[in-house]
Structure formats: C-alpha cells, structure tokens
Amino acid sequence: MMKLKRIIEGIKVISESLDREIRIMEVCGTHTVNIFRFGIKTLLPENIKIISGPGCPVCVTPDFYIENAVNLAKSGIRILTFGDMVRVPGISSSLEEVGNYEVVYSPFDIFGKIKNSKEYVFLGVGFETTTPLVAWLIEELKRRRIKNVSVYSAHKLIPPPLEILDKESRIDGFILPGHVSTIIGRKAYLFLNKPSVISGFEAEDILQSIFMLIYLIKNKKKGVLNQYKRSVRENGNLEAKKIIYDVFESVDSVWRGLGMIKKSGLEIKKEYKDFDAEKRYGLKEIEERKETGCRCGEVIKGEIEPVDCPLFAKKCTPERPLGPCMVSSEGTCSAYYKYGISN
C-alpha cells in the first residue's frame, strides 16, 4: 500500500509541472477493464486522461465477418466460437439469434465437439496472444487428416494500428498490452515515436506505467519502456512467433473504426488452404451496412467516450447491445456500463 501511495504522489507531482492535459491511450482489453475495476481514473490528477484504443479483438472485427459467420450458420454449418462473439450484431442478425453454434473456451476443446456427419467452422478472432493456439489447431487438423473443420481467420496484429495512432497529435503516449507483448516482445514497438510503456495488469503495474509515461512526456523523451519485465522479453516468445508464421501470413485487413490497415491481419497460408473457411466457402466482404447509430468505431479510436454516444445505457445495454463495444467483456462500453460510469 505504501508503494502505491508513493507512485500516486509521484504522478501528482509530475502532473503539476505539466501545463496541459495529457492523453494516454491503452490498447489492451484487460487494461481497459482493470483500470475501471481498480478505480485508476479516480486516483489520477484531472489533467491526466486515460482513453481506450483498439485493444479488444471482438470490437475491431468488422460487420461483414459477423454476417458471413451468421450466413454459414444459417446454411447448416456448425459454428464453433469463443463466447464473446455470440451476441455481436452482424448486418442482419447475431449468432445468438440464428443458433447453430457452440461455445468453446480454447481451440483444444474442438476435438471433443466435432462429429463426422457435420461441417464445422471455428471463428479465429484475436490478437497475437491467441493466434499461436489457432495455428496449432490448424496444424493438428492437417496432421489428423480431419476434413470437416475449417477456420475463418480474423486474427489481427497490434503494431500496424499503433503505427497509425502514433501520428495522432491528440495522443501523448501509449500503455502497451502485456499479454500481446509476451508474444511479440518489446522490440516489436521500436517504430513508435511517442512515449510508450508495456504494462502488467495489477493496480500497481498500471499506475507505475502511468508514472513512467508522464516522466517521459515531461522530459520530452521518446522510447518504449518495459514495466512488465517479469513476463515480457526483448524478442518475445520465439516459438510462438514461429508457429504463427508457419501457418499464417500477414495481409491487409479491415478494422472497425480504422478501416483497411496494411499488413495488419493474418491469412491462412496456401499450404493449409483446405482448412481455410474463407477459401472453402468463398467468403467475401459484404458491402451492405446496417445503420444503428452505434459509435463503437469512434470509441475504439479514442475520439469519444462511451457516454458521448446517445445510445449508451439507453438503447444500447449489455442485455440488448447494438455494437461489439457493449458485447465483449473487454469492450470499453461494457466496462463503462459495468462500473457505473455515466459522465
């Protein structure tokens, strides 16, 4: 407790020497939730503002991906998915409304679910943290010669959108994701021109990372610091990175709120095309859009807070979500709602 008090006091002292508002963006769904859970924002001076970025993989998945999954389910193909994807609205409906899906908690669970008489598609949604497990799944499907399971990849890479946000003048620094960084390592962020800190997830970790950031900002220094040294190495997890790029290759990819970003997605390589649902079923981007008034895309970019959306906590609630930021347990709107943030 004494160390926490010293960190908070240090943040206060530095903030008093800064004559403007400092905007720090975190880009990790777990950080989003824990900042609210620990009441971090209430401990900070008024001129230190924490905003959420594109750190929730479900939230950045575009409408057309959900709609393609819904259409597959309607056609009789059994969808295997993580739970957060079930209630995300597509263009016409959600998987929850259509049915014909099964929730799995890990790709390892899939082999206990499948039957020879059915076709299955696993929704591969996530950042670098979960991608190695899905790569393993694809290798294992090939090794076992299982023909009736394929993967619809919406896997995304964290560094490319950061490269875009790094040019955003309204952002002064980044709290970088801990879990993703255990895979890709500190060196993966060295392109950043803004002060940045890889952070752990406890209250002390997050507050220490904020202190480190505003120290860099005050002294007009750049750099990528590693607060989470107990888990994150310079080059990350080499074995995990190897299996990712054994099975996947980077491609241009659409992010909700950010649009098309070069080399920010992962596509299954040709050697594994038999397990690529996009190729197997001819899945394409669907141009049609459903206008709901949801402003999740702006929330993801840190342009607005959830309370700035007129639908928040009124027409859009966790019980009846209109967008993925309210559906996902890591979504910013969901965190605001759960912890009673209304202004």
The continuous run of DSSP H or E covering 226 comes out as: strand 224-226
Length of the chain: 343
Cα 222 from Cα 239, distance rounded (Å): 30
146-191 residue pLDDT tens: 999 999 999 999 999 999 999 887 899 999 999 999 999 999 999 9
> Around Cβ 55, how many Cβ atoms within 10 Å?
26
Q: What is d(CA 261, CA 266) in angstroms, rounded to the nearest whole number?
A: 12
Q: What pLDDT score does 343 carry? A: 47
Q: What is the DSSP letter of 77?
A: P
Residue 40 pLDDT class (50, 70, 90 cuts): very high
Tens-digit pLDDT profile for residues 63-92: 999 999 999 999 999 999 999 999 998 888
Number of domains forming the structure of the chain: 1
Which DSSP string corresponds to 122-185?
Answer: EEE---TTTHHHHHHHHHHHHHTT--SEEEEE--B-SHHHHHHHTT-TT--EEEE-HHHHHHH-
d(CA 314, CA 88): 18
CA 178, distance to chain mean position in Å, is 12
SS3 281: coil
Please give the pLDDT value at position 248: 99
β-sheet with 120-124: strand ranges across: 101-103, 78-81, 120-124, 149-153
CATH classification of the domain holding 121 = 3.40.50.11740
Note down the domain range covering 79: 1-343
Q: Does pLDDT of 1 surpass 70?
A: no
Please report the pLDDT score of residue 329 as a whole number. 87
Per-residue CA distances from 28 to 7, 25, 33, 147 (Å): 22, 9, 9, 35
DSSP 227-266: S-TTT--SS--HHHHHHHHHHEEEEEEEETTTEEEEEEEE
The pTM assigned to this predicted structure is 0.93
316 Cβ contact list (under 8 Å, min separation 6): 294, 309, 322, 323, 326, 333
* Integer Cα distance of 149 and 252 in angstroms: 25
Contact 324, 295 (CB under 8 A): no
